[in-house]
């Protein structure tokens, strides 16, 4: 593929999310900016920060992250590298998983955990509102409606612009609507 610019993300076309967020189809996922097993800090912090800058230099305007990446490392790196953020940057993050060690990802969909996770993400990312907050994975021990209901409350409070769901069934997707 030949690019018409030195910013290949801008050549990818755009997609509109939630009716009001237009982003390039090529975004950047930050999971691998952390240490081995998606646990702890990166081996080379300066390189991780440079990668984030390079993504924006390539035209990326959508970053996908999660509080569980590190844990908390990827979100902190984003703020360290890019704050204050470019006006067109959309940050999507996720909550609903715990990290108890490398490669361990137990779900925690309790409303109080989701609220605490969102508040932590807002603080680490230095934001008043998350553009897209995604429920990382339903917790089989918590009624799905309780988890999604808490996200809806936080959106009504102005802390979330759009809610996303990850790792859900078609039935859960229909129930969330």
CB of 28 closer than 8 Å to CB of 61: no
- Write down the pTM of the prediction: 0.94
Residue 150 has pLDDT above 70, yes or no: yes
- pLDDT per position as a tens digit, 25-54: 999 999 999 999 999 999 999 999 999 999
- pLDDT per position as a tens digit, 66-90: 999 999 999 999 999 999 999 999 9
- Are β-strands 21-24 and 62-64 bridged in parallel, bridged antiparallel, or unpaired? unpaired
- Domain assignments of the chain as residue spans, ordered by start: 8-176
- pLDDT per position as a tens digit, 132-149: 999 999 999 999 999 999
Given pLDDT bands bounded at 50, 70 and 90, which one contains residue 7?
A: confident
How far is 96 from 107, CA to CA, in rounded Å?
6
Give the model's pLDDT for residue 3: 44
How far is 84 from 97, CA to CA, in rounded Å?
28
Q: Which of 24, 69, 85, 133 is catalytic?
A: 69
Architecture of domain 8-176 in this structure: Alpha-Beta Barrel (3.20)
Give the model's pLDDT for residue 147: 98
Catalytic (active site) residue 24: no
């Amino acid at each position: 593929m030949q690019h018409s610019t030195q910013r290949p993300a801008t050549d990818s076309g755009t997609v509109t999310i939630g009716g009001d967020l237009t982003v390039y189809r090529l975004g950047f996922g930050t999971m691998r900016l952390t240490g081995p097993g998606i646990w702890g800090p990166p081996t080379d912090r300066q390189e991780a920060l440079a990668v984030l800058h390079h993504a924006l230099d390539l035209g990326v305007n959508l970053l996908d992250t999660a509080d569980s990446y590190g844990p908390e490392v990827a979100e902190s790196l984003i703020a360290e590298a890019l704050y204050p953020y470019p006006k067109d940057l959309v940050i999507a993050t996720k909550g609903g998983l715990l990290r108890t060690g490398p490669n361990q990802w137990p779900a925690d969909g309790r409303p109080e955990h989701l609220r605490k996770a969102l508040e932590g993400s807002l603080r680490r990312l230095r934001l008043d509102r998350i553009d897209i907050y995604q429920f990382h994975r339903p917790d089989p021990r918590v009624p799905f409606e309780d988890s999604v209901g808490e996200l809806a409350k936080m959106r009504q409070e102005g802390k979330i612009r759009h809610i996303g769901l990850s790792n859900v069934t078609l039935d859960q997707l229909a129930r969330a609507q």
